[in-house]
Amino acid sequence: MEQRLLRNRGYLTLMIAQLISSIGDWLSIVAIITLVGLKWNATPIEISLIILCLAVPMALFGPFAGTFADRFNRKTLMVLSDLVRAGLVIMLIFASTIWMVYMCLFGIGLFAALFIPAKNGKLKELVPDSQMKSAMSVTSMIDSGTKVLGPLLSGLLVTAFGSNPVFLIDSATFVVSAVLLITLPASVFSNEGSVEEKGKTISFKEDFLEGVSFMKGNQFLLVGLSILTISLLILQLSDSQIIVLIRELTNASPDLFGILVTGSGLGMFFSGWLLAKKTDYKPILLMLLGVCGMGVSFGLLAVFTGMDLESSIVWGPGLGLIAGFSAGLVFIPFQAAVQTDTPVHITGRVFGVINSTTTTATIIGPLLGGILVTLFGVIPMFIATGTLLIIMSFIGLLFRSKIERSEKVVSKSEQGTQGTASS
């Protein structure tokens, strides 16, 4: 990572806020899934609905939220989102049925849909394009690092004190994040209020279509988005059912789910660290290799579980680490390319389109996965997921040279002037 990035006060503040709130997120997510999946003995469909409640708001309101983030003060929107989510997490303490959990998670997902494009837009303001690959890698390292720390802390806290302290801590992390975000530098360009061009007020619909039009004109980003979306759809057929897969093991440790998630987080952290130091990579090649790696790890999870192999506390997290490392190879290069190629004034809209598309895959995948697992069993579903991902990666590799040629001819004129921030 470049030393100049370390001296960027606004970027560091944004990353610290992300670190704190992400730790809280993982504390509560693992606590909820453990509670519902193991203690309440929820069905595969009920477990899938937990993921859906967080994902549906992003799919439905992501494009609108992205337009909102380009029209209004991004810092204000992030602070508001954090404070509202802090209150919703507190409400989880009083949830006595799974439906109350669903309602709280839907609200949290709704304000996350507003936060994400605002954060990506602010990141574009704070970091120059020359440092964006390193910045996105560090962002991924923070996400994956908290994926390691969060489950470990959650397991300890839930075991010692129950779930309520976990939710209180998560709520507090949102408040601390909001306080930090207030100190971010203000944008030097105005994105508040209605947008006008030649005396004519631009509608939200026209703003949204501008983001869609930009994506349609960038063939490389369209291909990358297609790879990301399809792989997510296939992955989510099984990913949301890992707790069900663990039930198939005769001597599975009660902590196996949290430890497996930790292994996945370590894998993503390592890939982020590697890509932060080596930024001269070919994005499409890394993405396809990552898809293949995820397929291999999910397939082996099914095979080893079907064999009821001993020492699941070793091979489970090991395969989780491979899956996490591979996922980092898919997400980080694509997100860095989007940030670099997108003009600062439409970053929210572009990420709104991307988030809506990818989140739709995370909605369909768990729902369809829950149904298929119920009909055919969890082990065949994991084998099918692994096989499809491997096939997809090989097909992509056959056309890689053509895809990479399209990357080289992306017009430089589509890249807007980099936004900066004032103190």
Do residues 344 and 418 make contact, with C-beta atoms less than 8 angstroms apart? yes
Does 202 fall in a domain?
A: no
| 352 within 8 A of 364, measured Cβ to Cβ | no
Specify if 258 maps to a domain.
Answer: yes
- Residue length, the chain? 423
Q: What is the CATH number of the domain that holds 358?
A: 1.20.1250.20
Residue 191 domain-assigned? no
Q: Which residues of 223-259 are buried (b: 16+ CB within 10 A; e: fewer)?
A: bbbebbbbbbbbbbbbbbbbbbbbeebeebeebbbbb
Residue 190 included in any domain? no
Which residues, including other chains, have CB under 8 Å from residue 347's CB and lie 6 or more apart? 69, 70, 117, 120, 121, 124, 339
Q: What's at 372, amino acid-wise? A: L
Does residue 318 sit within a domain? yes
Query: What's the rounded Cα separation, in Å, for the pair 233 and 364?
Result: 7
Q: Which range marks the domain in which residue 105 is found?
A: 3-185+207-408
**Residue for token digits 């789910």?**
257
CA atoms within 13 A on the CB side of 327: 26
pLDDT tens string, the chain, 423 residues long: the values are: 555 777 788 888 988 988 888 887 777 776 777 667 666 667 767 776 777 788 788 888 877 788 788 777 888 899 999 999 999 988 888 877 888 888 888 998 888 888 888 888 888 888 887 788 788 888 878 877 776 677 677 767 777 776 778 888 888 889 999 999 999 887 654 444 444 444 444 556 666 677 677 777 777 778 888 888 999 899 888 887 888 888 888 877 777 877 887 788 888 888 888 888 777 777 888 899 999 999 999 999 999 998 988 888 888 889 999 999 999 899 888 888 788 877 777 777 787 778 788 888 877 887 788 888 888 888 999 999 999 999 999 998 888 777 666 555 554 444 444 444 433
In a domain, 199, yes or no: no
Q: How many domains does the chain have?
A: 1
Q: Are 178 and 96 in contact (CB under 8 A)?
A: no
365 belongs to a structural domain: yes
**Exposure letters 107-134 (e unless 16+ CB within 10 A, then b):** bbbbbbbbbbbbbbbbbbbbbebebbbb
Q: Could you tell me if residue 382 is inside a domain?
A: yes
